[in-house]
Amino acid sequence: MAMRSKGGRTIKLSPVDEDSHVTDHPARAGLEAIMDQKLFHQRIKSERSAAYWFAATLWGVSGMALGAILGVFVTLMVQNGSAETWRQNYIAGAASREAIDSVNHRDPVLRDPSENPQQQRP
């Protein structure tokens, strides 16, 4: 059987015997093992990366939730512990404001300092 290619050369093809066995390259098993090993290492790296991301996300979310809970707890404890102090300061501030207002709203009376000897200063 002969075929003509575009280059003008004649190529002779002989039929393949059905009894003949096609042999593989001797190093093919080693190459497949290397490729399998590379895929295995790549898979390990991928799994490790996923585990790192999972751990980082878990720690981040857990830390954020714990921080929010502790923040609310500490805020409530501070507010409850200082409520009495705040109340006293508010009452003292209100009392001082009332005293200032009562003094400011008095009628100004000018007196002669000689009438009251206790107010005279040497």
Q: What are 30-74's pLDDT values in tens digits? A: 777 788 888 888 988 899 999 999 999 999 999 999 999 999 999
pLDDT higher than threshold 50 for residue 1: no
What phi and psi values does residue 42 have, to the nearest 5 degrees? -65, -40
E strand or H helix at 71:
helix 28-81
pLDDT band per the 50, 70, 90 thresholds, residue 7: low
E strand or H helix at 4:
strand 2-4
Q: What is the mean pLDDT of residues 68-95?
A: 82
CA–CA separation, 2 and 12 (whole Å): 5
Identify which of 9-18, 23-32, 83-92, 113-122 has the greatest average pLDDT: 83-92
Q: Taking a C-beta distance cutoff of 8 angstroms, is the pair 3, 11 a contact?
A: yes
Cross-strand bridge partners of residue 4: 10
